[in-house]
């Protein structure tokens, strides 16, 4: 399989499929709580498309030539809508993303990295000072990727939620202000 895909806004007709993808991917993470342990969280995962009713929240999909969804991410223009515990929602001049998920059949194609870079470029192009994300130890592959593409650990963003330690990261744009 070649790594040919594009990133675009997800269509409302795809929201149900995307919700299944995100909840399935997260439920398959080793050492990550399962749906019976976090029913409200998994409900949120299944309904990520509904978040786009807020114009500051975008759902992007990586799709192949047949419009098969390979991966998705939820992007926040303004951190006040980010919706996590901790201080992330109070950070000014920042964007963020959450709920990055790649279909297991598309792993290794660079979909997660491409979605992350898409968010980085969008945040930079809109004049944000930084891009904020969170990860957990169960998301080791993503965590390593984030560090490789330039995110730095940001302890001030860490929190514990639902008995899970959640770790903050930020990508700081320090070259765009004159």
Residue 3: pLDDT band with limits 50, 70, 90: low
pLDDT score for 174: 80
DSSP code of residue 10: P
**pLDDT tens for each residue of 16-39:** 999 999 999 999 998 899 999 999
Among 107-111, 133-137, 174-178, the range scoring the smallest mean pLDDT is 174-178
**pLDDT tens for each residue of 112-125:** 999 999 999 999 99
Q: Can you spell out the DSSP letters for 11-69?
A: PGGGHHHHHHHHHHHHHTSTTPPPTTT-HHHHHHHHTGGGGGGSTTEEEEEEE-TT--E
Report the chain's mean pLDDT, rounded to a whole number.
93
Answer CATH for 6-172 from 3.40.630.30, 3.40.190.10, 3.30.70.260, 1.10.760.10: 3.40.630.30
Residue 177: pLDDT band with limits 50, 70, 90: very low
pLDDT score for 176: 47
42 pLDDT more than 70: yes
* Domain boundaries of the chain, sorted by first residue: 6-172
């Amino acid at each position: 399989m070649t790594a040919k895909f594009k990133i675009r806004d997800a269509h409302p007709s795809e929201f149900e499929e995307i919700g299944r993808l995100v909840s399935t991917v997260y439920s398959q993470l080793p050492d990550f709580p399962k749906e019976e342990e976090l029913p409200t969280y998994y409900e949120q995962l299944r309904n990520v498309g509904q978040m786009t009713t807020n114009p500051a929240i975008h759902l992007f999909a990586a799709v192949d030539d047949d419009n098969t969804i390979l991966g998705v991410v939820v992007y926040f223009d303004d951190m006040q809508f980010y919706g996590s515990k901790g201080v992330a929602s109070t950070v000014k001049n920042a964007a963020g993303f959450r709920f990055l998920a790649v279909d297991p059949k598309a792993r290794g194609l660079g979909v997660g990295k491409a979605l992350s870079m898409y968010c980085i470029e969008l945040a930079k192009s809109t004049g944000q000072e930084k891009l904020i994300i969170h990860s957990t130890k169960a998301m080791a592959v993503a965590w390593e990727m984030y560090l490789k593409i330039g995110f730095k650990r940001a302890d001030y963003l860490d929190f514990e939620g639902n008995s899970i330690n959640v770790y903050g990261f930020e990508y700081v744009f320090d070259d765009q202000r004159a």
